[in-house]
Amino acid sequence: MTLDKDKMLQYCNDFSKNTLMQTLNIEFIDAGEGFLVAKMPVNPSVHQPMGLLHGGASVALAESVGSAASHFFINDTEQEVRGIEISANHLKSIREGVVYGTARIIHKGRTLHLWEIKVTDEAGNLISLCKLTNMVLTKEKKQ
């Protein structure tokens, strides 16, 4: 697939409207061969009660960017993507600023995509390391 970075980012940001991604202010900002990057602000709306970035918000960022990245490799008129498993290791905490989720393909099969997603802060420190498995399904034909 030939990547048109601007079109891919526009597509990802457009399909995020009226979703959890919009609620969390996730914005897709970079794309390239086998990777996709999104950012999310860290503020009280994504904190846990101790005032730190909630692990679930980190995982939501990771799944959002990893699932969107699978669109690089499918025919979206005939296929769709479903996340079927995600794991996360939270390694560092953050109270404010911006985090970045960078999804990189590990395995690109016909029916399964495996992604590694690194969630980092503005200084490049690793906040969470996630692994996402997506299943590629054939869209059901509408009658």
Structure tokens at 47: 């904190």
For the chain, the first-to-last Cα distance in angstroms comes to 30
Is position 63 annotated as part of the catalytic site? yes
Catalytic residue among 63, 78, 96, 122: 63
**What is the largest distance, in Å, between two alpha-carbon atoms of the chain?**
51
User: Residues 57, 69, 28, 20: what is their CA dihedral angle, to the nearest 10 degrees?
Assistant: -40
Partners of 85 in beta bridges: 133
Catalytic residues: 63
